[in-house]
Amino acid sequence: MTATHTPGPGDVLGGCRLDRLVAQGGMGMVYEATHLALGRRVAVKIIAPQLAHDPEFRERFEREARLTARLHHPNVVDVHDAGEQDDVLYLVMRFVDGIDLRTLLQGGQRLAPARTVTLVGQIADALDAAHTAGLIHRDVTPSNILISGKGSTEQAALTDFGLVKHIDTAGLTRTGAWFGTLAYVAPEALRDETIDARADIYALGCLLHRMLTGETPFPRESDAAVIAAHLTDPPPRPSATRGVPAGLDAVVARALAKQPGDRFASAGALAAAAREALTAAPETPAGTAPTQRRAPGDADMPTRVAPAPAPAPRASSARPLRR
């Protein structure tokens, strides 16, 4: 594999043979792969070139890959290795045999409240573990949640910590640029203020609304209108959708408070409040949500990332991250 060759099926990257492309997005491509030394199935994420060539992103990538590798939780996709080969940045992760939540919610589909609250509780557990470790995810969206198993064995796993921010590394984000998916971005991030774990709680509230209703909280006709809604509009009431208990309105409202101090103190507290609201009223079957004003696929996609400067010098061989 040469520096000008985009890795593909059959290529070996970081000691892993790329077998099958399973996902592609703004951050890069994900392959199902085989770890050749261990004979183990893994996932290999290849970082998009425009990000890999950004010196700021590379610095954050190396720092945060090491931090994320220390995070072990059943609802987090583990990072096994990270490095660079022939000018390609990559992550080796646990392979999750399932689909992402965005695929499950395509076409405005929604989930039954009981299923929603169970999955949100698992995601909340993952976020609390990350926050305890000093990590902020910053892109808690359907695209970054993998669903495996069925029925009582269904499990959610949070992935794509490539956008995470360590609480003690405020200087690693360029002023005036933010990372993430616009439909789930907290108001303080849009105001270019310092963010903390409560930005993830805001995103989790947006996700709860999306799963319950089939709509993002503020579906609007333009990005500017979505930003304005995050900053000024009152939180929507998910109970306006048939079958959603009214008690969940207060949960979404508190999670989506404009001021971080008015939100839940932890993701687990949000999940506990949602479980309590669910038991307060009988559940009715969930159908398809009303048609969105913006396509769900558009709303769930990353809207903006920092621009990438000129390419960094090319590497000629694989190397691990500095320890």
Report the distance separating Cα 216 and Cα 292, nearest Å: 8
Instruction: For residue 207, give the nearest of 279, 129, 117 by alpha carbon.
Output: 117
> And the tokens for 245?
């208990």
Report the distance separating Cα 272 and Cα 117, nearest Å: 9
- The pair phi, psi for residue 319, each rounded to 5°, is -145, 145
Contact yes or no for 270/264 (Cβ under 8 A): yes
Contact yes or no for 134/67 (Cβ under 8 A): yes
Active site residue 223: no
Cβ atoms < 10 Å from Cβ of 161: 25
Report the distance separating Cα 42 and Cα 144, nearest Å: 17
What single letter denotes the amino acid at residue 275?
A: R
> And the tokens for 61?
């990538």
Report the distance separating Cα 211 and Cα 58, nearest Å: 33
Q: Please pick, among 125, 139, 200, 300, the residue that the annotation labels catalytic.
A: 139
DSSP string, 64-92: HHHHHHT---TTB--EEEEEEETTEEEEE
> And the tokens for 10?
């059959």
Instruction: For residue 202, give the nearest of 190, 214, 184 by alpha carbon.
Output: 184
Residues labelled catalytic: 139
